[in-house]
Amino acid sequence: MSSSQAMKLFSPFRLGRYDLDHRVVLAPMTRLRSEPDDSPSAMMVEYYRQRASQGGLLMTESAHPSYDSRGYIGAPGIYTDAHVEAWRKVTDAVHAKGARIFMQIAHDGRQSHVDLSWGHPPIAPSVVPFETQVFTQDGWVPNSMHRALEIGEIPAIVRSFKQAAERAKQAGFDGVELHNANGYLADTFLQDGTNKRTDAYGGSLENRARFSLEVVEAFADVWGADRVGVRVSPSGQWGAISDSNPEATFGYFADRLNAYGLAYLHVIEPRVKGTETLVEGQPPVASSFLRKVFKGPIIAAGGFRRDDAEAILQRGDADLVAFGRWFASNPDLPERFRRNLPLTPYHREAFWGGDERYYIDYPAYDEQSATEVA
């Protein structure tokens, strides 16, 4: 496919309240370059500015709704007024280029360490031991053992999400996304491999979906549902997540989300396993399944390139496609796709933390070409 003529990827789309000029979305990616107080850094402002394009949509890396919801040093927060002021620099930079930006909000749950939460153990719906690595002041270390939340603690966590959504609004964002994927707190409530509760938040599909739906309602109360999105990973394995019947679980969840009139459902395809590379030849299947259930717009993510992104749009299984790795190394990715230009390779070693190198030093194609000619 050599031309952008008639490509659906470059056709306009109405997403909630917003008119987009194209369907190439910046996916949320944990980059771990915030300031020591969890405020977005000047590097982050430049990172998002570079990747903004007229009529495009960007999603931030996960922002944490409370100090003790963090799982990685270097990930940003949205739980203080200082965070609001710092994020406003990001939204101003993105809006100056004619783009929209949603904040992804996440509680990392059991993927954390006592050093990140005043010495307290990480929290989860239930105690289900697992092993992973989290990033602390001492570098990458094994996660700490978690504890099960008491039912009386849950309303305060939902309130923290709502307060984060309010701060995101003050910071000038265009909407918010609940990170209900990748084995973080909301995802562990939803899936029965990690939710062994026997109270109102466990057992049945209705109960396991309760926490996530309460957060969605809190977000909608602040923003209006048409400026709220939800991200899910029906086949995800990151964070040792699992479900005995993911089709039933995520089908039920998507159907319940229909009642709100959300801006979108953001679906991670199973072709990418955590930080591992694309599973070659694996077709996108999650979006196809959820399209049969969810009535609103769907954003697909997971190892897409230009042609297979166009293909999923043409099939109607998704309305937009989010790109991570290739957007990391090609700040002008929509234009490169539009003109079918070569892509700059990414550097995996710089994904999770570092400085400007392989973060904001990738030139746009035309800038790179001009330098090479000179």
SS (H, E, C) 274-322: CCCCCCCCCCCCHHHHHHCCCCCCEEEECCCCHHHHHHHHHHCCCCEEE
Enumerate the H helices of 97-175 as residue ranges.
154-170
What's the pLDDT at 373? 40
Which residues on neighbouring strands pair with residue 179, listed in sequence order?
Answer: 231
Per DSSP, the three-state class of 89 is helix
Q: Are 169 and 105 in contact (CB under 8 A)?
A: no
Question: Domain for residue 138, yes or no?
Answer: yes
What's the pLDDT at 287? 81
CATH of residue 237's domain is 3.20.20.70
What's the pLDDT at 374? 43
Question: Domain for residue 34, yes or no?
Answer: yes
Question: Domain for residue 3, yes or no?
Answer: no
- Residue indicated by tokens 């305060």: 156
Output the pTM of the full model: 0.94
Instruction: Divide the 374 residues of the chain into consecutive groups of 10 and give the mean pLDDT of each group.
Output: 74 98 97 97 98 98 97 96 98 98 97 92 96 89 95 98 98 98 96 98 98 98 98 85 93 98 94 49 70 97 94 96 97 97 96 96 82 48
Per DSSP, the three-state class of 186 is helix
Which residue segment(s) compose the domain that 220 sits in? 8-373
**Active-site residues: which are they?**
184
Give the tens place of pLDDT for each residue, 102-161: 999 999 999 999 999 889 999 999 999 998 888 898 889 999 999 999 999 999 999 999
Of 195, 189, 71, 198, the closest CA to residue 134 belongs to: 71
Tally of domains in the chain: 1
Question: Domain for residue 60, yes or no?
Answer: yes
Residue 206 has, within 13 A of its CA and on its CB side, a CA count of 2
What's the pLDDT at 281? 47
What's the pLDDT at 5? 62
What's the pLDDT at 286? 78
Question: Domain for residue 48, yes or no?
Answer: yes
d(CA 99, CA 93): 9
Question: Domain for residue 2, yes or no?
Answer: no
Distance in angstroms between the alpha carbons of the first and the last residue of the chain: 31
Question: Domain for residue 231, yes or no?
Answer: yes
What's the pLDDT at 168? 98
Residue 164 has, within 13 A of its CA and on its CB side, a CA count of 30
Sign of the CA dihedral running 124, 125, 129, 132? negative
Of 288, 182, 192, the closest CA to residue 236 belongs to: 182
Question: Domain for residue 248, yes or no?
Answer: yes
DSSP string, 244-270: S-HHHHHHHHHHHHGGGT-SEEEEE-T
